[in-house]
Amino acid sequence: MKVDRRILKTQEALKKALTELMAEKSFDHITIQDLSDKANVSRGTIYLHYVDKYDLLDKLIAAHINELRRLCIESAHLSFTEAEIVWFEYLEANYLFFSTMLVSKGAPYFRTQFLEFMIDELREEVDMNEARNRGLNEEVVVRYAASAVVGIMEWWFLNDKPLSPVEMAEQIGMLLDRKL
């Protein structure tokens, strides 16, 4: 079933408005009226699409995580570094969202969801048969690597992307090759 373009346009306007408002102030201080004003839609329109601002945020987060998951699947045939380039290009294209969620006044639970996603994605990369991983618990190794990658991404956003997506992908690839 094809979704009406007007509905998609309204939903995109609301997601953009929420992201922009979160860049300005804490999520807890954002009201439905703020969203209505920013997206130039009525309050009633917001409630036609979302239960409340939490529902909107949940759907916004899910959309980005699902897109990252899709990119992972599509780039499964690529080397780890090439796949990371695809990721960092997506992160860069959605800079306002990710920088807001990871390093500014974003939703704290986004980081938790993002970290869990990274853990799932990196789990396949860990080779517990490698000498460097002998004696270590697999869950510890995976969480260590995922936490490091998320931390590096936070640093990248916090410092206004000091390296290109390609440089970031190469750096992370080299680091993970040393650890996994």
Q: Please, what is the average pLDDT of the chain?
A: 90
* Encoded tokens for 35: 């969203």
Domain carrying residue 46: 5-179
Say whether 116 sits in a helix, a strand or coil.
helix
Could you give the maximum distance between any two Cα atoms of the chain, in Å?
60
Closest CA to 87 of 145, 142, 141, 149: 149
* Residue 27 and residue 56 in contact, taking contact as beta carbons nearer than 8 Å: no
Q: Which CA distances in Å does 108 have to 22, 114, 155, 170?
A: 12, 10, 16, 28
Domains held by the chain: number: 1
DSSP for 35-77, written as a single string? HHHHHT--HHHHHHH-SSHHHHHHHHHHHHHHHHHHHHHHTTT
Q: Which residue has the tokens 């960092």?
A: 88
**Torsion-angle region of residue 130: left (phi > 0), alpha (psi -120 to 50) or beta?**
beta
Is residue 57 very low, low, confident or very high in pLDDT (cuts 50, 70, 90)? very high
Q: What is the pLDDT of residues 16-45, one digit of tens each?
A: 999 999 989 888 899 999 999 999 999 999
Distance between CA 153 and CA 169 in Å, rounded?
A: 10
Look up residue 27 and give its two tokens.
């999520």
Calpha distance 84→174 (Å, rounded): 11
173 pLDDT band (50/70/90 cuts)? confident
Domain containing residue 158: CATH number: 1.10.357.10
* Tens-place pLDDT, residues 89-122: 999 999 999 998 987 655 677 888 999 999 998 8
